[in-house]
């Protein structure tokens, strides 16, 4: 291995993908903290896995960082109060994906009292770390929301030697990971070193797209000067700016040349992939012990008056975030939580923003929000764009037929719903919708 | 759709962004790429070429419109695919073709080959080729009456000529009876109105590749296969190979008809098998068959095989490929 004086390039470039416009208009705006909203709605399920059970009752007083929901299941992550105040309701709400989830509503008393029980965790071993990460409520902040403690609970025989810090942020508009690298570069690197020390990793690769290589430059300068750099494990990698470079499996392939087998996890090829915001949070948590109660999101789109990057308490509504950014230019035609490629379009501004939501986008009615659907012309652009080497048009036809066997034989479960196929389709076919349908057909058939 | 949703917020599945490319845009690009061939047809064979093209396009669009109406389906003439079919069909006609035959050819192309099977994207054979073959079988003498190029300018009554292909069948190495290669390249030879001018067809092909409408793999493999087989058949004579490539409808077929989306495979591997198959069938018909030309039949035959080629060449999803050198390449990092 050579010294980190030069920035690495992908070992093996992924296939397919699309050249979507970047539109990162908030890129040069440092993150601003939102005025804490009057109330927050905190769902008990903000992650992949078992939902939490509320540990508070209506009428209880809670402080920032106090546990309000927990679960004894392995795949889960606890939730904490993000403002101080009184629990006014516990009931069902809709999340951005349209699912009904239980949520705790807290009325903000405006005092911002931090819970007295917060103290930095003692972490010496990997077991300590997993316990601490679990207690912090950390989930993958890049979008998927997979509990980080589960991610780190890999087995020794999996020989995990590589940490990949994902700062690709390949979705258009979103710029919070870039801001994390630029504004909190010290947190990112100290998080990296904490993980290297505790997990005994051989190398760390921080990867971003090459249009954000100034962020890499800043990280590199610190990495070069840092005392820890005698360990010489941190590498910086610039990927071609092409969606979906940040997809976990593609990132592992770009960084190491390893290919995660279908249905397996990154640890099976010796890798742990963490979002850059998760790593920076971890560093702060290990110092202060303050759990995951706030995060950053880009509020942008052509219908937002003052697009910005905002730090908000978990459970803040989309409405509060939009109002903080000057409100809408006009009545929006489409509201999206997440990026334009994989985000959820919502119809209700009261939907709460969660641990894994990195953007709110609003678009005018005049924007091209829907592409008219015409017949498939079998041009193959979807297959060319698919980074997973699938043939989406075939899968669409199988999904329409409800052919579970054909769908799984043609690899539908490999689809990560990145949207490259539907983006490239000249006929405007809603391919991702059919991929989702296809997956549910296969799951149902398997459950029988 | 938009009218009912005017005052509502739109909720759809992701992605919320799309490419600006549309089916109509793609078809418009194909039409642009055919403009050089259309101009060449007028220069070489006179204004009657333009009349044939007009009749074929008008009939194709009209038949598409009427059949969609009768079948109570969305009228899809706006996607311009019927215009493309009309132009391609016209380019496959000799200049002396009676216009009523063009109407029948257009009917076979649009109604029988395309709309009976569900319209754009659903047809399993290329409509223009089907139209041409129906005409070739029904009106064989009218379809193979070749007028000498450029004579329309002299005002003399059109004289008939043979196509270079009929000479090539009994090729002895003597090219005196044939047009020169330069004449062949610019289309000064007998043939259909659109197939003779190689320069115009290649120009159109380059435009299609540059606009990413087609990938060059099908034309190159198709023409390459014919070249290799003809090199063997001609006992190594490159002149013979050049004549074979520039003769008949090979360039028109390889660039514009074999690359039709609906009737060619999606994967690159599939495209190669398909194009090589086209090349072999074309060569076999030219070398051993009694037919005047093999391009249309070869493409039609390979069109029919596309579903089988596709099921044989399906790509392996990510993570299911053979585990080769995985552990080795990583250390290179």
pLDDT band at A3 (very low <50, low <70, confident <90, very high): very low
CB proximity list for A388: less than 8 A, separation 6 or greater: A16, A411, A414, A415, A416, B317, B318, B319
The whole-number pLDDT of residue B325 equals: 45
Rounded-to-integer distance, Cα A447 and Cα B19, Å: 37
How many C-beta neighbours within 10 Å does residue A34 have?
Answer: 20
ipTM above 0.90, yes or no: no
Lowest mean pLDDT among A108-112, B7-11, B239-243, B312-316: B7-11
Regarding predicted confidence, which is higher, B49 or B323? Answer: B49
Instruction: Give me the number of domains chain B comprises.
Output: 1
Say if B10 falls within a structural domain. no
Residue A328 phi/psi, 5-degree rounding, is -85, 150
Q: Which of residues 135-194 of A touch B (CB under 8 A)?
A: 172
The whole-number pLDDT of residue B278 equals: 97
Q: Do B316 and A342 touch (CB under 8 A)?
A: no
The whole-number pLDDT of residue B245 equals: 94
Mean pLDDT of A24-43: 94
Do A282 and A397 have their domain in common?
Answer: no
Regarding predicted confidence, which is higher, A86 or B8? Answer: A86
Structure tokens at A61: 């007083």
Q: Do A332 and B9 touch (CB under 8 A)?
A: yes
Query: Could you tell me which residues are beta bridge partners of residue A162?
Result: A203, A271
Task: Identify the domain containing residue B287 by its residue range.
Answer: 23-147+161-312
| pLDDT exceeds 80 at position A302 | yes
Closest C-alpha to A152, from A131, A178, A177: A131
Q: Do B317 and A414 touch (CB under 8 A)?
A: yes
Say if A175 falls within a structural domain. yes
| pLDDT exceeds 50 at position B330 | no
User: Residue B176's domain is classified under what CATH number?
Assistant: 1.10.3430
Last residue of a domain, one of A261, A288, A315: A288
Residue B186 phi/psi, 5-degree rounding, is -95, 5
Task: Identify the domain containing residue A214 by its residue range.
Answer: 8-28+120-288
Residues of chain B with Cβ-Cβ distance to A347 below 8 Å are 9, 11
Beta strands in A75-199 (DSSP E): 79-80, 85-94, 100-108, 162-166
The whole-number pLDDT of residue B164 equals: 80
Say if A411 falls within a structural domain. yes
> What's the Cα-to-Cα distance from B17 to each of A211, A328, B165, B273, rounded to whole Å?
20, 20, 51, 35
**Rg of chain A over all Cα atoms, to the nearest angstrom:** 21
The whole-number pLDDT of residue B179 equals: 87
Q: Do A423 and B1 touch (CB under 8 A)?
A: no
| pLDDT exceeds 70 at position B159 | no
Residues of chain B with Cβ-Cβ distance to A159 below 8 Å are none
| CA atoms lying within 13 Å on the CB side of residue A405 | 0
Chains A and B form CB pairs within 8 A to the count of 179
CB proximity list for B154: less than 8 A, separation 6 or greater: none
Mean pLDDT of A111-119: 92
High-pLDDT (> 70) share of chain A, %: 97
Which residue from A256, A410, A423 is facing B18, i.e. has the nearest CB? A423
CB proximity list for A397: less than 8 A, separation 6 or greater: none
| pLDDT exceeds 70 at position B327 | no
Spell out a b/e string for B149-176, using b for 16 or more CB atoms within 10 Å of the CB, else e: bebbeeeeebeebebbbbbbeebeeebe
pLDDT band at A40 (very low <50, low <70, confident <90, very high): very high
B23-45 and B198-210 helices cross at what angle (nearest 10)? Answer: 170
Rounded-to-integer distance, Cα B297 and Cα B249, Å: 11
Lowest mean pLDDT among A87-96, A365-374, B116-125: A365-374
Q: Which residue on chain A is closest to B263 by alpha carbon?
A: A378
Residues of chain A with Cβ-Cβ distance to B21 below 8 Å are 381, 424, 426
User: Of B17, B212, B262, which to mutate for an interface test with A (greatest number of A Cβ within 10 Å)?
Assistant: B17
Residues of chain B with Cβ-Cβ distance to A376 below 8 Å are 121
Q: Do A249 and B26 touch (CB under 8 A)?
A: no
Say if B119 falls within a structural domain. yes
Q: Which of residues 416-445 of A touch B (CB under 8 A)?
A: 417, 419, 422-428, 430, 432-433, 436
Lowest mean pLDDT among A2-6, A110-114, A220-224, B140-144: A2-6
Q: Which residue on chain B is closest to A410 by alpha carbon?
A: B317
Inform me whether the C-beta atom of residue B121 falls under 8 Å from chain A C-beta atoms: yes
Q: Residue B28 burial by CB count (10 A; 0-12/13-18/19+): exposed, middle or buried?
A: middle
Mean pLDDT of B169-181: 78
Q: Give this prediction's pTM.
A: 0.91
Last residue of a domain, one of A257, A288, A319: A288
Rounded-to-integer distance, Cα B69 and Cα B119, Å: 12
Say if A54 falls within a structural domain. no
High-pLDDT (> 90) share of chain A, %: 80
Mean pLDDT of B127-132: 96
Q: Do A423 and B26 touch (CB under 8 A)?
A: no
The whole-number pLDDT of residue B329 equals: 46
- Do residues A237 and A7 lie in contact, with contact meaning Cβ atoms separated by under 8 Å? yes
What does pLDDT average to over chain A? 92
Which residue from B120, B326, B333 is facing A259, i.e. has the nearest CB? B326
Residues of chain B with Cβ-Cβ distance to A417 below 8 Å are 14
| pLDDT exceeds 50 at position B2 | no
Inform me whether the C-beta atom of residue B23 falls under 8 Å from chain A C-beta atoms: yes
Q: Do B315 and A425 touch (CB under 8 A)?
A: no
Rounded-to-integer distance, Cα B141 and Cα A413, Å: 57
DSSP 3-state of A200? coil
Q: Which residue on chain A is closest to B2 by alpha carbon?
A: A370
| pLDDT exceeds 80 at position B54 | yes
Give CA A276 to chain center in angstroms. Answer: 10
DSSP 3-state of B228? helix
Structure tokens at A188: 């990112």
pLDDT band at B328 (very low <50, low <70, confident <90, very high): very low
Residues of chain A with Cβ-Cβ distance to B330 below 8 Å are 11, 256-258
Q: Which residue on chain B is closest to A252 by alpha carbon?
A: B330
User: Residue A159's domain is classified under what CATH number?
Assistant: 3.40.50.11540
Beta strands in A271-351 (DSSP E): 271-275, 294-300, 308-313, 332-337, 344-346
- Do residues B286 and B294 lie in contact, with contact meaning Cβ atoms separated by under 8 Å? yes
Structure tokens at B109: 């192309």
Residue A106 phi/psi, 5-degree rounding, is -120, 130
The whole-number pLDDT of residue A224 equals: 75
Q: Do B319 and A343 touch (CB under 8 A)?
A: no
| pLDDT exceeds 60 at position A76 | yes
pLDDT band at A234 (very low <50, low <70, confident <90, very high): confident
Lowest mean pLDDT among A268-272, A393-397, B325-329: B325-329
Q: Do B261 and A380 touch (CB under 8 A)?
A: yes
The whole-number pLDDT of residue B1 equals: 42
DSSP 3-state of A165? strand
Regarding predicted confidence, which is higher, A146 or B173? Answer: A146
Say if A279 falls within a structural domain. yes
pLDDT digits over A118-166, tens only? 999 999 999 999 999 999 999 999 878 899 999 999 998 999 999 999 9
The whole-number pLDDT of residue B333 equals: 40
Which residue from A18, A347, A379 is facing B9, i.e. has the nearest CB? A347
Q: How far is B199 from chain A (nearest CA, A)?
A: 26
The whole-number pLDDT of residue A50 equals: 93
Say if B328 falls within a structural domain. no
Inform me whether the C-beta atom of residue A325 falls under 8 Å from chain B C-beta atoms: no
Q: Which residue on chain B is closest to A340 by alpha carbon?
A: B16
Q: Which of residues 277-316 of B touch A (CB under 8 A)?
A: 314-316
Query: Could you tell me which residues are beta bridge partners of residue A294?
Result: A313
Say if B17 falls within a structural domain. no
Q: Do B17 and A336 touch (CB under 8 A)?
A: no
How many C-beta neighbours within 10 Å does residue A122 have?
Answer: 10
Say if B18 falls within a structural domain. no
Say if A214 falls within a structural domain. yes
pLDDT digits over B262-279, tens only? 999 999 999 999 999 999
Q: Do B16 and A369 touch (CB under 8 A)?
A: yes
Do A124 and A271 have their domain in common?
Answer: yes
DSSP 3-state of B192? coil
How many C-beta neighbours within 10 Å does residue B43 have?
Answer: 18
Last residue of a domain, one of A288, A319, A352: A288
| pLDDT exceeds 70 at position A434 | yes
Say if A343 falls within a structural domain. no
pLDDT digits over A253-268, tens only? 999 999 999 889 999 9
Q: Which residue on chain B is closest to A390 by alpha carbon?
A: B317
Structure tokens at A19: 């050249």
Query: Could you tell me which residues are beta bridge partners of residue A62?
Result: A85
Residues of chain B with Cβ-Cβ distance to A390 below 8 Å are 315, 317
Which residue from A21, A259, A343 is facing B16, i.e. has the nearest CB? A343
Which residue from A419, A427, A433 is facing B23, i.e. has the nearest CB? A427
Q: Which of residues 223-282 of A touch B (CB under 8 A)?
A: 235, 249, 255-264, 269
pLDDT band at B162 (very low <50, low <70, confident <90, very high): confident
Say if B153 falls within a structural domain. no
Do A16 and A131 have their domain in common?
Answer: yes
Structure tokens at B49: 């070429």
User: Of A374, A381, A386, which to mutate for an interface test with B (greatest number of B Cβ within 10 Å)?
Assistant: A374
pLDDT band at B331 (very low <50, low <70, confident <90, very high): very low
Say if A301 falls within a structural domain. no
Say if B330 falls within a structural domain. no
Lowest mean pLDDT among A55-64, A138-147, B212-221, B285-294: B285-294
Which residue from B19, B267, B317 is facing A388, i.e. has the nearest CB? B317
Say if B77 falls within a structural domain. yes
What does pLDDT average to over chain B? 89
Rounded-to-integer distance, Cα A47 and Cα A66, Å: 18
């Amino acid at each position: 291995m050579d010294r980190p004086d030069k920035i690495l390039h992908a070992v093996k470039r992924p296939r397919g993908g699309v050249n979507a416009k970047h539109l990162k208009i908030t890129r040069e705006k440092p993150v601003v903290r939102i005025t804490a909203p009057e109330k927050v709605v905190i769902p008990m399920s903000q992650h992949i896995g078992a939902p939490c059970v509320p540990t508070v009752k209506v009428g209880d007083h809670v402080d920032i960082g106090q546990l309000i929901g927990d679960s004894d299941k392995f795949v889960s992550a606890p939730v904490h109060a993000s403002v101080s105040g009184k629990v006014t309701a516990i009931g069902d709400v809709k999340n951005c994906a349209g699912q009904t989830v239980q949520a705790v509503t807290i009325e903000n008393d405006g005092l911002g009292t931090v819970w007295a029980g917060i103290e930095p965790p003692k972490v010496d071993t990997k077991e300590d770390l997993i316990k601490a990460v679990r207690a912090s409520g950390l989930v993958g902040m890049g979008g998927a929301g997979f509990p980080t403690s589960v991610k780190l609970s890999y087995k020794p025989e999996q020989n995990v030697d590589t940490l990949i810090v994902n700062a690709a942020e390949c979705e258009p508009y979103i710029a919070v990971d870039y801001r994390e690298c630029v504004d909190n570069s010290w947190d990112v690197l100290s998080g990296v070193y904490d993980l290297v020390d505790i997990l005994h990793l051989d190398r760390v690769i921080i990867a971003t797209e090459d249009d954000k290589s100034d962020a890499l430059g800043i990280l590199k300068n610190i990495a070069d000067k840092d005392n820890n750099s005698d360990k010489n494990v941190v590498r910086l990698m610039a990927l071609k700016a092409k969606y979906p470079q940040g997809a976990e499996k593609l990132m592992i392939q770009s960084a190491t040349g390893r290919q995660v087998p279908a249905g397996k996890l990154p640890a099976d090829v010796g890798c742990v992939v963490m979002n850059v915001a998760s790593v920076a949070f971890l560093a702060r948590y290990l110092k202060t012990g303050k759990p995951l109660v706030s995060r950053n999101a880009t509020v942008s789109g052509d219908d937002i008056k003052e697009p910005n990057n905002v730090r908000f308490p978990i459970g803040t509504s989309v409405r509060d975030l939009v109002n903080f950014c000057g409100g809408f230019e006009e009545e929006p035609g489409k509201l999206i939580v997440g990026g334009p490629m994989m985000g959820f379009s919502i119809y209700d501004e009261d939907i709460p923003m969660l641990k894994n939501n990195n953007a709110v986008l609003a678009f005018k009615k005049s924007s091209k929000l829907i592409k008219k659907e015409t017949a498939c012309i079998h041009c193959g652009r979807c297959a060319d764009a698919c980074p997973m080497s699938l043939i989406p048009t075939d899968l669409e036809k199988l999904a329409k037929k409800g052919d579970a066997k054909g769908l799984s034989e043609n690899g539908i479960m490999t689809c990560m719903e990145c949207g490259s196929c539907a983006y490239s389709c000249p006929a405007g076919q809603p391919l991702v919708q059919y991929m989702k349908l296809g997956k549910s057909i296969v799951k149902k058939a398997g459950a029988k | 759709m938009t009218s009912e949703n005017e005052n509502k917020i739109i909720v759809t599945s992701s992605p919320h962004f799309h490419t600006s490319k549309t089916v109509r845009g793609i078809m418009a690009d194909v039409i642009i790429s055919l403009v050089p061939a259309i101009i060449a047809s007028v220069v070489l064979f006179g204004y009657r070429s333009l009349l044939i093209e007009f009749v074929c396009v008008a009939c194709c669009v009209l038949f598409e419109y009427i059949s969609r109406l009768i079948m109570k389906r969305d009228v899809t003439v706006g996607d311009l695919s019927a215009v493309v079919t009309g132009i391609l069909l016209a380019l496959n006609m000799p200049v002396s073709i009676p216009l009523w035959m063009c109407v029948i050819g257009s009917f076979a192309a649009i109604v029988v080959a395309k709309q009976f099977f569900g319209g754009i994207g659903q047809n399993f054979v290329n409509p223009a080729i089907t139209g041409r073959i129906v005409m070739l079988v029904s009106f064989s003498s009218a379809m193979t009456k070749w007028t000498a190029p450029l004579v329309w300018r002299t005002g003399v009554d059109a004289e008939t000529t043979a196509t270079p292909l009929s000479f090539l069948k009994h090729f002895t190495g003597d090219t005196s009876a044939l047009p020169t290669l330069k004449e062949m390249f610019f289309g000064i030879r007998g043939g259909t109105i659109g197939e003779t001018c190689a320069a115009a067809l290649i120009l159109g092909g380059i435009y299609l590749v540059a606009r990413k409408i087609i990938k060059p793999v099908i034309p190159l493999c198709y023409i390459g296969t014919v070249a290799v087989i003809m090199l063997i058949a001609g006992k190594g004579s490159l002149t013979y190979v050049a004549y074979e490539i520039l003769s008949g409808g090979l360039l028109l077929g390889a660039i514009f008809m074999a690359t039709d989306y609906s009737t060619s495979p999606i994967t690159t591997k599939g495209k190669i098998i398909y194009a090589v198959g086209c090349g072999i069938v074309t060569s076999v018909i030219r070398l051993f068959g009694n037919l005047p030309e093999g391009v249309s039949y070869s493409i039609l035959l390979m069109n029919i095989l596309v579903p089988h080629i596709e099921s044989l060449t399906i790509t392996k999803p990510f993570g299911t490929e053979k585990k080769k050198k995985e552990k080795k390449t990583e250390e290179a990092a």
